[in-house]
Each structure stands twice: as structure tokens, then as C-alpha cells.
Amino acid sequence: MSYEDVEAGLQVEIRATATLTDEQVSLHDWLILGYGHAQVAILEYLGFTAERDSSDLDTLFRWVVRINLLVKYTDDASGNNLLRDIRDEIVVRILQNPKLNSTAFDSLPIAGNVSEEEEIVIGGVRFLHEWIDVAIEERVNA
């Protein structure tokens, strides 16, 4: 059992999309916004729940990861269309591969929305910001 395993599996799925490269996907590092990329995904740990799942002491962990999607603002239509395309591609990849090639036995995008701070400004560059929360379930026999 390891949060790092399931997070790494999610990261691989995001990097496999047509719209994001390895350099555009970050684990918890918001400094990536200063590297000049037109779009990025930043994974952020949001916590977990755990419960006994069976009489043989299996524990079901439910990890929650937020995928922050940010695109450089050029105009409303272009930015929002690009966010939509990235969001849709990530959601489809997770639905098609819910085990994430990791120790997870299931994952599911459970929520998504425009960020409370719809725009983020870094070094004078404006980014539009949305997020997707993904629940990743992992069964552990301890």
C-alpha cells in the first residue's frame, strides 16, 4: 500500500494524454507555472479515508487527489476550450483505466469545477484554473 504508488499511476495516465507532456505534469510543485508552459496539470494530495472491508482484516483506503488544470490565458474562448479538452481527455483515460497500472483496484473522477480563483497570475502571466478530484481505492491486507 502506498499513496505514492497510486499517485504515480495517476500521473502516468495524465502524462499519456495528447495535450500534456511529462514536463507539464507536476506533483505538488506550483513553480511549474513559471516555466513557460501553455498548459499544466498539478497533482495535489487531498487526504484519505480508511475502513475495514472484510472479516479477514482487509482495509479499504480511499485516497483523494486533486488535479489542478491551468492554461495560459489568451482569450476566453481559447482558454476555456483548451481546459475542456484537457479535462475530457483526463476523465476518459481514468474511466478507461481505473486501476491506473498501480496498486489501485478502482479510481473515479468524483468532482470538478472552476477554481474559486478562476485566474492565477504568476510573473504577469494569467492562467485559467479548473480542478478535477479523483478518488482512488486501494485494498490492503495488514
Q: Give the Cα separation of 37 and 10 in Å (integer).
A: 20
Q: Find the mean pLDDT for residues 44-52.
A: 94
What's the CATH number where 78 sits?
3.30.2000.10
Residue 102 has a pLDDT of 87
More confident residue, 140 or 53: 140
The tally of domains found in the chain comes to 1
**SS3 assignment, position 99:** coil
H or E element at residue 15:
helix 3-15
Can you give the pTM of this predicted structure? 0.93
Q: What is the residue range of 34's domain?
A: 3-141
C-alpha closest to that of 100 among 136, 64, 62, 59: 136
Instruction: pLDDT band for 76, please (50, 70, 90 cuts).
Output: confident
Give the pLDDT score at 115.
Answer: 85
When pLDDT is cut at 50, 70 and 90, the band that residue 1 belongs to is: low
The end-to-end CA distance of the chain, in Å, is 9
